[in-house]
Chains A and B, each alone.
Chain A
């Protein structure tokens, strides 16, 4: 789960990491008031779930409270990569001497959290990794002990950070590792970590992504979930407990099992169609889940036809057929539905579909071709 910069900084501050003084505003007037309260020049930063806000014009200085209001009014409501800006973070402007990078990710190969530190701060770390990998120092966290302070200092020293940063920066990295592990993070990044001319070391920007599977025990962070403007359907699907991804075609896809649904998307594309979504109803789904899934997919205005592809094991064909039939009455008139059933209860299910006048497919390829043809016939 993505969270905003100000929320990530909130988490870091709880672990004793110095962050920039600042507050969130939703109106230009609030931004002005915050700037007045902070005193001195500020930076107004768009709070949206994407990187590259600066380049998009979503980060601007305000030398006076009036100017803070002015730039806030420009940034609020702005569209950044399809996301509408609804909040800005107003922080004190720093007198920056140097910028560094520190981040932690889960590394599949080492099967552990891996720390990356670089002198090249403020840049996209993937770009640094691609162009000058020698500038990144990596360290695998030993999950038995966590990151120890001396290891943190050693990493910073190897990354070539100046002596003045080693002690404070080491404490920050140690705290970041603790925050990462205890918050069920997948990614935790401070970019940049800054050294100011008066010798302060602090996080000037932060990014944290929380592991969805850890949300059951991260209740406060889970409560921070909010819809992404570009994906209201995905947000609603999550609330309804559906594993759903919005895509940009016009054929709705429902199946059981992530791999099978992905394979079905590929098959539809091979047959000349464009999938509108990914939806996995999981294992052992009852008719009610099938009905909910079908009605949900049909509620997407882009969808012009739907393919249901089920390989029955613990999911039973009769249940799927019953769900499809129940959903039928609630679907937009003339919406073509093609159902492919195999495995447990497939014959019973097919008989039910036939009685209800619904189309079923022999196999996945047949299903894909049938739904593509049905959608083409409508266009």
Chain B
């Protein structure tokens, strides 16, 4: 191919001028760079809808379970062995209405 051909083609191609970057690109690039600590304070993350819904459902379920647990009456735990061994005789009180059942022995019926 002759150099003239290349030159002519080159000149023709140069008739198509492409624009330079728009000013909006500056904001899109320079504005989006944030340090990690600033990201922690002001950053945003995109969450897919199914993941967001699942996370919300899990939070609601956890809240319901916690609320239900708080409503229950606390059942005292059984006393440990060491506590059972220490008792006082004052705790023993006389029975007010004692119903005594007498069972006769076999010897008495004879």
Instruction: Tell me whether A and B are bound partners.
Output: no
List the interface of chain A (C-beta within 8 A of B). none
